[in-house]
Amino acid sequence: MTSLTAFTILVVLVGVERLAELVVSRRNAAWSFERGGVETGFSHYPPMVVLHTGLLVGALVEAYVREPHTPSALAWSMLAVVVVSQALRWWCIATLGRQWNTRVIVVPGLTPVRRGPYALLPHPNYVAVVLEGVALPLVHACWITAVVFTLLNAVLLTVRIRVENAALTTLAEPSGA
């Protein structure tokens, strides 16, 4: 198996993982709306979907067009970061449970989650996104995709985190916090 074939399989697997996330997200969003959930900041969501899809497509296009030489040390170290980012992402999803989705939906009466990775960082899922956005393309030395995604994602995350923080201020803090 060539490294390009292996990279293609990896990117497809990440794409399948994203589809699994969307299934979980839709189920959890429906649960939130059934309980009076309020969505904010939807205007940045479609660009976020395009950007994340662009990461996968861009990495493959760059790999096939540029056909970069990929040092083994780079490939394996970045693959390790991709695996860690996926583990962190699913830890976040498991910790938030029904409250997790890809949109900003707040259910009145619930409290902010402060356990698991959220006990360590305010937005650990975005750490996973940043890590993956750099590491996934670099598994096959697709540095152009890594740089473009990272820059555009920084702009988008600035908006997203501001919207999410504002939405979370509407929730009561857990007692004893």
- Domain borders along the chain are 3-168
If one compares 70 and 170, the residue with the highest pLDDT of the two is: 70
Instruction: Quote the CA–CA distance of 32 and 122 in Å, as a whole number.
Output: 21
DSSP labels, 5-20: HHHHHHHHHHHHHHHH
Residue labelled with tokens 């493959």: 60
Mean per-residue pLDDT of the chain: 95
| CA of residue 47 relative to chain centroid, distance | 14
- For domain 3-168, the CATH class is mainly alpha
pLDDT one-digit tens code per residue, 47-66: 999 999 999 999 999 999 99
* Stated length of the chain: 177
| CA of residue 146 relative to chain centroid, distance | 14
Number of H helices, E strands in the chain: 5, 2
Which tokens in the block code for residue 118?
Answer: 């959220």
pLDDT for 174 equals 63
Q: Look at 35-44, 132-141, 164-173 and tell me which has the smallest mean pLDDT.
A: 164-173
